[in-house]
Each structure stands twice: as structure tokens, then as C-alpha cells.
């Protein structure tokens, strides 16, 4: 038995990462004949997005030997390093998960039927072809993320590569700021549809507690681990922090009471959403896979959206990672504008890129900001 240890961060541990880790571990199981397991707290998004997964959930106190590998090692080195009773710590990337088993594993991934039905009903509202456009902002805007940010110039150029008279569905983890970015859709606002909450037929639910909970789940895997109860606990903790400053802290009973109070403020639709373990990311990815064209961000989420579907054309950014700065306190002065003619994405995700994929430069708009 081998074990995958999911690690959580403010970014990079969501559904795209979990699919990648699943593909990696299924390949290792095929090549080594070891069964593999996870803890019950892990792969929460994955388990509630797809049906029929080959997963062993094991919370027993088995002893494992920890193996931590750099994410730049390839699949072959990971395979050769894994032994029985290994607990594997490695961040899955398009470069290190690719094996001869990848295609078969990907073909086995089937979205939950209720997710498919909801997404298909929404997709069928549009006559003809549609474009999926993924905008990754939020955590990527932080210098410490080490990622390029795709600006409006990239998305405008990408749209120019595709039919100019068909609807565009915008998928994003940073809904409020992207929706408020009028420059992005200024040319033809009626063409664009922001995907907000497909569980509620793409309408915001009028519930402040629920919307804050959704935002936490979508953007804060480090603390919520993509679990609704953990999200409510985090919200209760945040509410009690001010109280704790004036006292010696708060008690467990006070935390439980606050969680209960927050729960009673949830709209009935949110309560049903939580009960059915339905997540925005699951619906977004499923609908993205139903689109005829995909404009990717430098994100495994949109890479999987393109891979799990059958798009006619995929536009992708050439520059993926900035690298982690040694002195982030110096701010945007350390941000690279571009990587010239180097197609970094192709070097990382070459096994996923077909002749349908078209690369575009994506200079980082933060590099043009004036630093005081």
C-alpha cells in the first residue's frame, strides 16, 4: 500500500490539482502493483465531482515512510522512488504525471450525473457554439504565488483567434473583481456570461453567509480543505477574533454556538447545496468541458477543462510560472514581463497539448505598474 499526502495551500490544491494527483497515483498503482490510499479529509473536491473513482479511504494508524520529491522530477523518477509503505509528498504537475496510462485514466473520469444534467441544461440555453474563457486571478495576484497573471491583452488576443459572433462563458475564481472589470467586456457586454453559481441556475443566492462561504471554499483550501463545515468554522473563528482580542480568547462552546448561528442564516438553497456536497468548481469544470472552444489561463483547472472535453480549438498562454522571488517585499519590480519566445507551458504540459492548441504570449500586466 502506498499513500498520497495531499498538502493544502492558499492556492494550488483545488480540483485541477486533485485530478492531477489522482492520475499520478493511478499510474503508479498500474506500474508498481501497489494499492494506494488517501485520508478521509483529502480529495474532497475530486470525490464529489466524479463518480466511480478507484479510491481507498483509510484513516487507520498504518506506518508509512515519508518520501518528499521536488515537483520538477519526472514521472519515471517518482515511479522508481516509490516503495511499499511510501507516503508520497509531491506536487502533481502536467510534467510529472504523464505516463502511458494517462489517456485511459482520463477517459475513466465521469462527472456525477446530477452535475452533468444541470450543466447540460444550462449549456442548451445557447444556440450553436460557445467559448469557455478561464480567468485565474485572486491568489495569482500575490507575488508569492510565483505565477504569471494573464491580463486583458491576452484574453482580447485570444478572442481574436476564435469566431467573433458566438457567446463567451467566463469562468473565474475571483468573481467579484472580474465581474467588475468592465474593460474586459467593454466591446460587447451582451456576448459575455459570467458563470457564478450553476447549482442555482447561475444566479447569485441572496445570502451573505452563503456567498462568503462559497468564496472561502473556492479560494482558501489551506484552511477549509474544500469542506463546507471547515468553511463555517473558519467564518466563526473570524467573527470571534475581535472578541478574543478583548478577552483571553474564546471557548469551544462559543465557537460551536457561532457556527450554529451562521448555519441558521443560510438560504435553503445553500443548505441543500451543502447537503448534496455540490461545489462551484465541479459544475464549472463540467460546463467548461462542454464548450466548443477554450481560452485557458495558466492553470491546471482550465487545462483539465480542455482535456476532459472535445473542443475544436484551445488558446493557451505561453508563460506559466514566474518563479518565487527571493525578496518579495520589493514588490512588482521583481515581476517578469514575459519569457520572450520560450513556450514554457508547452515544456511543462507537452503531453496534453495537441494540434488543437494554439499558444499566445501573455505578458504579465503587473510588470507595467509603477512602483513607488
Return the H-helix or E-strand segment holding 293.
strand 293-295
Check: CB of residue 304 under 8 Å from CB of residue 16.
yes
Distance CA 307, CA 350 (A): 12
pLDDT of residue 61: 82
Which triple of cell numbers denotes residue 161?
A: 483567434
Q: State the DSSP H helix or E strand holding residue 67, giving kind and residue range, or none if neither.
A: strand 65-68
CA R_g for the chain: 21
361 close to 332: Cβ distance less than 8 angstroms: no
The pLDDT of residue 204: 85
φ, ψ (nearest 5 deg) of residue 48? -100, 10
pLDDT score recorded for residue 247 = 67
Cell numbers for 170, please give them. Answer: 467566463
Strands in the chain per DSSP E: 2-4, 36-37, 50-51, 65-68, 86-89, 110-111, 131-135, 168-172, 192-194, 293-295, 313-317, 357-360
Which pLDDT belongs to residue 370?
A: 47
End-to-end CA, the chain: 55
- Pairing outcome for strands 50-51 and 110-111: antiparallel
- C-alpha to C-alpha distance for 125 and 285, rounded to whole angstroms: 18
- Give the residue ranges of the chain where pLDDT is below 70: 11, 245-247, 324-333, 369-372
Q: What is the pLDDT of residue 310?
A: 96
Amino acid at each position: 500500500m502506498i499513500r498520497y499526502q495531499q498538502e493544502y495551500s492558499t492556492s494550488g490544491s483545488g480540483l485541477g490539482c486533485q485530478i492531477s494527483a489522482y492520475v499520478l497515483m493511478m499510474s503508479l498503482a498500474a506500474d508498481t502493483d501497489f494499492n494506494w490510499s488517501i485520508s478521509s479529509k483529502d480529495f474532497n473536491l475530486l470525490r464529489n465531482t466524479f463518480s466511480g473513482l478507484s479510491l481507498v479511504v483509510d484513516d487507520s494508524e498504518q506506518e508509512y515512510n515519508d518520501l518528499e520529491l521536488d515537483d520538477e522530477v519526472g514521472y519515471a523518477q517518482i515511479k522508481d522512488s516509490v516503495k511499499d509503505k511510501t507516503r508520497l509528498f509531491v506536487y502533481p504537475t502536467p510534467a510529472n504525471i504523464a505516463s502511458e496510462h494517462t489517456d485511459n485514466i482520463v477517459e475513466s473520469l465521469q462527472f456525477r450525473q446530477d452535475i452533468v444534467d444541470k450543466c447540460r441544461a444550462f449549456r442548451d440555453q445557447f444556440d450553436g457554439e460557445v467559448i469557455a474563457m478561464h480567468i485565474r486571478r485572486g491568489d495569482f495576484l500575490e507575488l508569492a504565488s510565483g505565477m504569471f497573471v494573464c491580463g486583458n491583452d491576452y484574453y482580447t488576443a485570444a478572442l481574436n483567434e476564435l469566431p467573433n459572433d458566438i457567446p463567451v462563458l467566463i469562468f473565474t475564481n475571483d468573481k467579484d473583481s472580474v465581474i467588475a472589470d468592465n474593460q474586459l467586456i467593454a466591446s460587447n457586454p451582451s456576448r459575455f456570461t459570467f458563470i457564478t453559481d450553476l447549482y442555482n441556475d447561475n444566479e447569485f443566492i441572496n445570502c451573505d453567509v452563503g456567498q462568503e462561504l462559497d468564496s472561502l471554499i473556492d479560494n482558501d483550501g489551506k484552511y477549509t480543505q474544500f469542506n463546507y463545515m471547515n468553511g463555517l468554522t473558519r467564518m466563526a473563528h473570524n467573527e470571534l477574533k475581535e472578541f478574543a482580542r478583548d478577552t483571553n480568547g474564546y471557548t469551544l462552546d462559543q465557537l460551536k454556538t457561532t457556527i450554529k448561528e451562521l448555519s441558521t442564516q443560510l438560504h435553503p438553497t445553500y443548505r441543500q447545496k451543502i447537503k448534496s456536497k455540490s461545489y462551484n468548481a465541479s459544475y464549472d469544470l463540467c460546463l467548461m468541458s462542454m464548450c466548443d472552444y477554450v481560452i485557458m489561463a495558466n492553470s491546471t483547472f482550465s487545462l483539465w477543462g480542455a482535456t476532459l472535453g472535445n473542443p475544436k480549438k484551445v488558446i493557451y498562454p505561453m508563460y506559466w510560472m514566474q518563479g518565487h522571488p527571493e525578496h518579495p517585499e520589493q514588490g512588482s519590480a521583481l515581476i517578469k514581463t514575459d519569457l520572450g519566445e520560450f513556450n514554457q507551458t508547452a515544456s511543462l504540459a507537452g503531453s496534453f497539448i495537441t494540434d488543437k492548441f494554439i499558444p499566445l504570449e501573455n505578458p504579465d500586466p503587473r510588470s507595467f505598474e509603477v512602483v513607488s
